[in-house]
Structure 1
Amino acid sequence: MKMRSSAAVLNRTVLTMPIPNYQSRIANAQALMRSHGMEALLVFSAENLRYLTGYTGEAAYGVLASHTLHLITDYRFVEQANADCLHCTVICRDREKTTLAEVIGEVLGNAAVSRVAVESEHLSLDLFTKIQHHFQPITLVPINGIVEGLRACKDEWEVAQIRRAAQIADQALEALVAQIRLGVSERDLAMELAYLMRAKGADDLAFPIIIGFGENSAKPHCVPGYRALKEGDFVLIDFGAMINGYRSDMTRTFVAGEPTEQQLSMMGTVLRAQEAAIASTRAGVSGQQIDREARRIIDRSPFAHYAGKGLGHGVGLKLHEHPFLGQRCEDTLHTGFVVTIEPGIYIPGVGGVRYEDDVLVGEAGASCLTHAPKFFQISV
């Protein structure tokens, strides 16, 4: 069976939509920071810096205060920072004369602040101690999730980037499936898929490609190796493209040749579970509720013992970001969230099945951004 295209041919020109509203993002982060009783926030996450400033380089650190945002870098990236960052002040640190802690302390001192939030997930104890030492009047308060909470709700421009990344992935998979033959290795197939995504316009891969044949498909994050494709193998492919820093994430599972009754049952069960979960996804429901719909289908099947533990996650500047859907997820979904829905069944020594799509949450329901068909058999 040949794969039918469900995505239009991509126009590889730059999108004409307006650039992100960084001023609004900065103002929202400042307001949320103040709501936590903080007068400043040290931003060390590369994704959070990019979200607030548009900076795409390396070796940068942000100091967000009530009315200012400073980005600290060095001579290697200062030109790029000045080009990328139109709504913050760029500081070029002389690494031979001044430590990072000293520069941060100076910026905080000039801002006349006392309570400073720090992204503790991205700050070493060593740097934490040095900052405190160089600017003793302040109290550093470990807080996570200020900028991440804002990033969870995508604006129109962000959705457009993810949608384009998903379209590229759709087209790359269509081209790949037509080339799959017995004897090809997982590694070779992964290399070809990476080439196809870049050839179709991806800036980069969203993450290292996951491909598992046969029994290897039971490993949810199988690293492609030299396992050769055989007649009757499961073929699990999990991959995504990146556009302007935003990622897509999709999984499809096929059988090379004629599926067995067990394989058909596994694939049908997972597909029904995914469809039920997507149908229940809308603004106002929790991750628990969505997970419950998928789990209800799998729990009634012969494969309940082999169900994957999680259902999905937010996707955007990071592959895995807030919210994380599953049995313990009490977070409520909001309009503009982009999440994956990816139930799976994994039987050691036999194989695994997962279907995954990126969905955009709306008031009345969810719409899929990934569109590759989900047929069960490929001709080899």
Structure 2
Amino acid sequence: MSREELIRSFGPNVAGAVTAPIDVSLLTTLEGWNREASRRLAAPDLADCAPKGTQVGLLDPRLMYHGDMLPVITPALRRGLLDARRLLRKSLFSTLGRSTDLVLDGDRGTGKSTMLIQIGRGFQALIEQYFGPDPNRIPVVFITVPPERESNLHWSLPFAEFLALNHTLNPQDRTRRTVDMTEPVAHVMKQAGTRLVLVDGINRIQDNEIRAAFDYFEALQDRTNVTFIYCGTGAREIVHEARYDKRRKNLPDVVKGKTYFSDLPVLWAGVIPYGDDWHSVVQAFEEDLRLYDHKSGTLVKLSRYLHQRTGGYIASLNDLICQAAQEAIETATASAPEAITKQLLDDIRIGRGDSR
């Protein structure tokens, strides 16, 4: 997968190029998800921005853009997208038994949610490529684990919210109690040809909630023939426990940490070791900067320093570079060029043991 394939608009229903960061909360609605799936990610053109030296506010396009920047192809993302595409393409034409689910696991800050979103974007494009655009089709459903998880009613609500199904007894008073929406959810998903459900934040499910949660997922899967992707830190153990009825804390040490400790494919998002892959990631960040005075190659020369600061975590690297870029834009003067320097990076605080 090339960088252009990662950031391009997926499918024929092209939304305009968008530079603002993703509002993840909007992805849990059909309208928000479709907007994300069809947009083209783009960095702002300096020629269209406020001239050098202009004082900018919080809504300045460059300041907003450097709040998150563009997704970067890490080794884990490249491999995860490839594995997911292969399995999901096969599942499109499978008719017997349940579809094979996927597990997306890894430490915090390794890019799991980014990978999950990109898998969904790519699959939606695959559906439109095979079958053509259809406004009545809903190939992908994106949900996050709800705050209440005691019953089927609670689990049905994020699905109903995504599908814009009213789930209150009194539509004029949303504070009134809700109803179990499993039946209408399953009906709409089946009629709309839903084939993929993305579940983010699976790590929020407590030990005593695992069995009920996955009973619900499996029952919905039996009705709709969808593939689930479960995403979150520790997702592999959570899914394994759900499938084999073992509590996470009682799992034998001999199987903990083994790569074969799952009968489902596991996509791993991990830290990036120092080397060629790390250099490529740093170079991609540098190419995406939109600063008037930044000299190309500055960040690449600081690759080892950046790895020491971040430990190879993509989220920490993103925090460090984005904050430095925004600070450079806000504080640039005639004597202080609009550029990222080691001195500026030294002054930015991030996590991962960075105690300065």
TM > 0.5:
no
More strand by share: 1
* Greater RCO structure (CA 8 Å; 6+ sep): 2
Q: Flag the structure with higher helix content.
A: 2
Look at both structures and tell me which one has the larger radius of gyration over its CA atoms.
1
